Amino acid sequence: MLLNIPKLLSPDLIKALCEMGHGDKILLADANYPGQSAAKRCGAVFVRADGLGVPALLEAILQLMPLDAYTDEPAMVMDVDVRDKGMKIPIHDEYRAIVAKHDARGGQAVAQYERYAFYDKADACAVIVQTGEEAVYANIILQKGVIK
């Protein structure tokens, strides 16, 4: 047991976070995302977080890991596909509120990317975490900052 470590972070996820360096990215993927195949394709560490939603995991991770201060967009979400235009994605507002609690840039630190541009960014992640999140378009990429 350790003090001050959120209980929902598994030992594998803590290890992956510790091994990430400044500028490395982590994808918190929803249950629909092809996490394992993406991790194999891009050589990322694959971690399962079954039964956990992304908001709770995002909150826990941001207690331990700062976002990159050297980029304007240290957090990235997938924009709604043209075939789903008009669909409301309230979880993105939730992400912006969580990020705002941990980053002085507030919700401005969260950028939206077109679906395939987001997949390209995801393929550059060092870590992919497959969650049990059932909300659609609930994937978020975080770029790790410097620990000072």
Question: What are the catalytic residues?
Answer: 22, 68, 119
Coil, helix or strand for 47? strand
Cβ distance 130 to 53 under 8 Å? no
How many residues would you count in the chain? 148
Rounded to an integer, what distance in angstroms lies between the CA atom of residue 79 and that of residue 115? 6
Nearest partner of 122 among 84, 88, 83, 78, judged by Cα: 78
